[in-house]
Amino acid sequence: MSRIDKDVLNTEKAESLDDIHAVIGQMAAELLNAGRPLELTSLSDLLKQHAGQSADILLKKEYDDALSFLATKVPS
């Protein structure tokens, strides 16, 4: 793999993480604005709810990616 290819992959990964962080931030703000506790379960539940209601395939993927990201952060 050339250096350029690696740079493209790193950029895509960084943009993807930025998107994931943005979605999680939006869900956290929604929970706090509603007076609900900011907990992993409530965050996951809200992401699942939005993913299930979204007609936008790309937005649904962002919600699913954020859910997968959160799943890696749960201690076993």
- Spell out the domain ranges in the chain: 3-71
Does the structure show a pLDDT above 90 at 35?
yes
The predicted model scores a pTM of: 0.75
The sign one gets for the Cα dihedral 50, 47, 65, 24 is positive
pLDDT over threshold 50, residue 48:
yes
What's the confidence (pLDDT) of residue 13? Answer: 53
Confidence of residue 73 (pLDDT cuts 50, 70, 90): confident
Q: Cα(1)–Cα(8) distance, rounded to whole angstroms?
A: 11
Class of domain 3-71: mainly alpha
Predicted pLDDT at 10: 42
Quick check: 12 pLDDT over 80?
Answer: no
How would residue 40 be classed by pLDDT, with cut points 50, 70 and 90? very high
